[in-house]
Chains A and B, each alone.
Chain A
Amino acid sequence: EAGVAQSPRYKIIEKRQSVAFWCNPISGHATLYWYQQILGQGPKLLIQFQNNGVVDDSQLPKDRFSAERLKGVDSTLKIQPAKLEDSAVYLCASSLAAQSGTDTQYFGPGTRLTVL
């Protein structure tokens, strides 16, 4: 079965520019997650979708970050405008259903963002 796909794999932008990341979860997975992983730290959950609805976006910096999953399948995460501290790897993960503790999250390879 195909895994979680993400693109692009790498992106370099200047501060104040905009950037968008794309994620295609495993087919049939209802739940989709976006994480931010800063170098030397563990992943931090930004937003969680159940189908096309938001379950948790409490750690999403909403003044500059936005995400959508319009048809309940693939998703985009946007940063506008980017800051230097946004340099990180952005990970997408999906799971079959949002059942606490019983579901396995499958991670994509990530998008490495560098903001200059």
Chain B
Amino acid sequence: GDSVTQMEGPVTLSEEAFLTINCTYTATGYPSLFWYVQYPGEGLQLLLKATKADDKGSNKGFEATYRKETTSFHLEKGSVQVSDSAVYFCALDNFNKFYFGSGTKLNVKP
């Protein structure tokens, strides 16, 4: 069945460091791909999405490119801030069935 695998956390970085959180997926067909973020004490919110191969989603300095050849959707940010500390979830939507990864906690130190 369809599934999402993302790197285990926690990931601890210093402010202004480069961030990569890996996400790979297994799906039939052509799913849409998402990154959601959950800040401490808040609900899940959409960070970015891509609906077809080679699309790049971007928001708040974060980017992810839909790579069909490697079935990946890695999240990147060039310079993280303390305020980026949160749990990040990779997800896919395939024919209106949604699957989430297990989440990666990011801690950014000042």
Contact = CB atoms under 8 A, between A and B. Distances in A.
Interface in A25-59: 33, 40-45, 48, 55-56
Interface string A76-111: 000000000000000101000010111011111110
B63 to A, nearest CB: 18
B16 to A, nearest CB: 29
Contacts of A40: 102-103
Given A42-B4, A101-B31, A107 B98 contact: no
User: What bracket does the count of chain B residues touching chain A fall in?
Assistant: 20 to 34
Interface in B66-91: 89, 91
B15 interface: no
Interface in B42-73: 42-46, 49, 51
Interface string B9-43: 00000000000000000000001100000000011
Contacts, number: 54
A101 B45 contact: no
A107 B91 CA distance: 14
Nearest to B30: A101
A100 B102 contact: no
A87 to B, nearest CB: 17
A109 B40 CA distance: 11
Given A101-B31, A107-B45, A109-B43, A33 B98 contact: yes
B51 A44 contact: no
A100 B100 contact: no
Given A43-B89, A100-B96, A102-B32, 16 more contacts: A40-B103, A42-B101, A42-B103, A43-B44, A44-B100, A48-B96, A56-B97, A91-B44, A93-B44, A98-B96, A100-B93, A102-B51, A105-B46, A106-B45, A107-B43, A110-B43
Those 6 A-B pairs whose CB atoms lie nearest each other, nearest first:
A101-B32, A42-B100, A107-B44, A107-B43, A101-B51, A109-B43
